[in-house]
Copies of this chain bind each other. A is one copy, B any other.
Amino acid sequence: MEKISLGYQSLAATFRYKVEEGMWRIGEPIPSEASLAKEYGVAVGTIRQAVAQLADEGVLVKRHGKSTAVSSGLNGQSMLRFFRHQLDGQRQLAPSAMVLDLKEIAIDKNIAKLTGWSCKTLLKIHRVRLVDGNPLLYEMIYLPLPKFKKFLGYTPKDFEDLFYPMYARSCGVAVIKAKDQVGFELMKKADAKVLSMKEGHPAVRVNRIAFDLTGKPVEYRSSVGDAMAFQYSAEVN
């Protein structure tokens, strides 16, 4: 095994590969910087630079005093917090979620184009997100099917409130990034029914593509809710 690698960028690529191939498993610690330095025959500082880059990308997580680990991904609370809730004094909010339906479908041409997925079938999950029992968001979630086949045997009540941690635990998929597109439309009949609203009511739609550790799209999600209750926050840099 000759080493062609030169420089911390190649090392970073090597480490990224280890994560992709599952040699470094999600949520688990990687070898110490000192041992990696020995293994690759470089100075510790060089290892540190490579690790720092991956930590920047969200692939690795550094923990002072403990080992560096492969990221387990976002926790998935990132959707509901975008709604403005009518603040009833200091009362606690009780967000929850409910899966209405799941089924295997043929891949949608539009979704295939957006995600670049080459699989033949998808798992389509309908669910509602609620606050204090009131339905706020109606979500359609599409997952590529070889990868998420474990969910095929699930029933609606087997799903947890937060999906992303469940992806990590059950399917070995860590979501570390997502791209949202926010648009407005008039509510369709089917959506209105689920949300107990009138057809034609102003609605917001958020289409999201979520990415895993390797930068590949692993989820497509289309959510609809009451435009009047919606507020989206973002930073521009």
Contact = CB atoms under 8 A, between A and B. Distances in A.
A195 to B, nearest CB: 15
Contacts of A61: none
Contacts of A74: 236
Given A202-B202, A202-B227, A234 B176 contact: no
A224 to B, nearest CB: 13
Interface residues of A, number: 27
Interface of A: 58, 74, 78, 84, 176-185, 202, 204, 208, 227-228, 230-237
24 contacts: A58-B237, A78-B236, A84-B183, A177-B237, A178-B235, A179-B235, A180-B232, A180-B233, A180-B236, A181-B231, A181-B232, A182-B182, A182-B231, A182-B234, A183-B230, A183-B232, A184-B202, A184-B204, A184-B227, A184-B228, A202-B202, A202-B227, A232-B232, A234-B234
